[in-house]
Structure 1
Amino acid sequence: MSGFGAALAYEWIKFRSVRSTVWTTAVTAVLPVPGAAFVAATGSLQPDDTVLGGSLTLTVPAMMLAAVVGALVMSGEYSHGTLRTTFAAVPRRGTVLAAKAALVAGVLYVLTLPSVTCAYLVGDAMLGEGYAQGEPMPALLGVAAAFSVAGLLGLAAGALLRHAAGSVTTVLAVLLLPALFGPLFGDAQRWVAGMSPTAALEKLIQTSDATAEAVGSLGAWPSLLLVTGYAALALTAAAGLLRRRDV
């Protein structure tokens, strides 16, 4: 059997068998909750911020780990030399990449949605009155989706570059550099800064730092759709290159 279902089952076996991937995924899912407790316990929430934004402070580093998960799922096969076996079991390389993408996106969404919801509830319970609540729904659904998109970008980077360190470095640069170098582009700053999943995440959690001047003028959901489109384009390029390579 070499259909999508068989490929997905095969990828799941590999995913849960690699300790580095499992542990990175686990930390990604757990990180937002202690972050919410820390912000509330230290009283470090800014007066103009929301409970939602403060509670999800550590979603940005958690998203970086989600991108690393995606990169490891693909680059790990190159590092361990198992990709030939994978393609022998499932000859359609596009099916292999689609199965990896479905697995990464699905696992990250299923794990991070309850995590970010719990983080918000913890922050809400500990912070009490005095802060604007923000609008957790449907924002929390979008936050979990942003994790999935980051994972897909990492997967595409792993397929394109084939090297673990290179793919991790590249996808982290995609997440961080638009905001850092946006000011260098003058009037185009808001569009450059809004190109990364980090910008979409900051808008979704309604942080006080997510101004149009800092992370682009698009709204939260259009920004998420934009970076989802980028991820789809990157995966399409990766699929084309995967078909042309020897391995």
Structure 2
Amino acid sequence: MTATVVQPPTVPAPVSAPATGLRSRADTGRLKVTLPRVVGAEWFKFASLRSSWITIAVALAVIIGFGALAAAVAAGDIEPARGGGPGEGALGLDPTSLSLAGAGLAQIILGILGVLAISGEYSSGMIRATLAAVPRRVPVLTAKAIVIAVVAIVVAVPGTYAAFFVGQAIFGDGANASLSDAGVGQAVLGTGVYLAAIAVLGLALGALLRHAAGAIGALFTLLLLAPNLLPLLLPDSWAEALVPYLPSNAGAAFTSVAPADGLLSAGAGMAVLAGWIVVLLATAAVLLRRRDA
């Protein structure tokens, strides 16, 4: 009887680690999560959505188109000024505010753009992958705010200047305004900055509420409902103390050629609007770290 000898299986030799740690450190450096890389990733996500570009195009069309429409409708009501300054309409509307009439609707459009920049990820579940890639979480919100702010500035500021020049061309010489007139340059630039700020405000609300409908409703309330309802619901002394500090009224302080009575100064209005954004973003950052995705 012949005995069969079973050979033990061949075990591959272990792969030795690199003799030096330089390569592993280089790989770690390439994979390190940094704010510029997170910003780049957020920009890629934003730019890859067709809805982002459609919303931007609509906002730009509203800023310029509505301003031109308002100027064309009111052109016959604005009489040329005799003192060399801009004319004024029968309703007391100056040509600058008429040419920037589209900003009232554009603020909602850009605010919704900011809301959807983060609430869309919660609704689709993509936020889990995002936060898994960036475990510290706060850089995600910071990067989104940077992307939305830059995009909104690039769209809104040129848009408001274009709306102004188109509107003044419609009014014609004598009835139009110039950027060198008192308060006009501040109003045109301030309107563009205000629209960008509202986009970031929408992002903060979206991060806080994590639901598109709720955040858009809160945006409508802050910008449109509260300034009109609070004076009717609150005592006059309370309304006079609170209403100027609402985001839209704070913005009106530096987006108007001649701000209405009861509004803050231009500098104070900018500070209050910035305060709204900082507080809401800071609160959203704290909740983002504490809540589950």
The one-letter amino acid of 2:157's match is L
Q: Which runs of 5+ in 2 are unaligned?
A: 1-31, 78-88
How far off its partner does 1:223 sit? 1.1
How far off its partner does 1:102 sit? 0.7
**Structure richer in helix, relative to its length:** 1
Listed one character per residue, the Cα deviations across residues 133-183 of structure 1 (whole Å, up to 9, x for unaligned) are 563323333222211221121111111111111111111211112311231
The one-letter amino acid of 2:69's match is F
- 1:231 corresponds to 2:277: yes
How far off its partner does 1:38 sit? 0.6
CA distance in 2 between partners of 1:190 and 1:22 (Å): 40
Match of 1:41 among 61, 72, 85: 72
Q: 1:171 to 1:29 in 2, by over 3 A?
A: same
- 1:144 corresponds to 2:192: yes
Q: 1:190 to 1:23 in 2, by over 3 A?
A: farther
> 2:9: which partner in 1?
none
CA distance in 2 between partners of 1:131 and 1:236 (Å): 43
- 1:28 corresponds to 2:72: no
CA distance in 1 between partners of 2:177 and 2:242 (Å): 29
Give the TM-score normalised by structure 1.
0.90
> 2:146: which partner in 1?
102
- 1:4 corresponds to 2:35: yes
How far off its partner does 1:21 sit? 2.9
CA distance in 1 between partners of 2:168 and 2:176 (Å): 10
Q: 1:207 to 1:199 in 2, by over 3 A?
A: farther
SS at match of 2:245: coil
- 1:60 corresponds to 2:104: yes
Match of 2:289 among 230, 234, 243: 243
User: How do 1:183-202 and structure 2 match up within 5 A?
Assistant: 183=231, 184-185=233-234, 186-202=236-252
Q: 1:207 to 1:193 in 2, by over 3 A?
A: farther
> RCO greater where, 1 or 2, for CA within 8 Å and sep 6 or more?
1
- 1:130 corresponds to 2:175: yes
CA distance in 1 between partners of 2:129 and 2:35 (Å): 16
Q: Which moved more, 1:142-151 or 1:116-125?
A: 142-151
- Once the two structures are aligned, what percentage of the paired residues are identical? 34
CA distance in 2 between partners of 1:198 and 1:72 (Å): 20
CA distance in 2 between partners of 1:77 and 1:202 (Å): 32
**Larger radius of gyration, structure 1 or 2?**
2
The one-letter amino acid of 1:26's match is A
How far off its partner does 1:40 sit? 1.8
Q: Which runs of 5+ in 1 are unaligned?
A: none
CA distance in 2 between partners of 1:27 and 1:190 (Å): 35
RMSD of Structure 2 on Structure 1 (CA): 1.9
- 1:163 corresponds to 2:194: no
CA distance in 2 between partners of 1:146 and 1:120 (Å): 15
Listed one character per residue, the Cα deviations across residues 45-85 of structure 1 (whole Å, up to 9, x for unaligned) are 64322221110011011011111111000100001110111
Cα contact 1:67–1:172 (8 A) shared by 2: no
Cα contact 1:73–1:155 (8 A) shared by 2: yes
The one-letter amino acid of 2:229's match is F
Equivalenced residue count is 243
> 1:182: which partner in 2?
230
SS at match of 1:211: coil
Q: Which moved more, 1:118-127 or 1:31-40?
A: 31-40
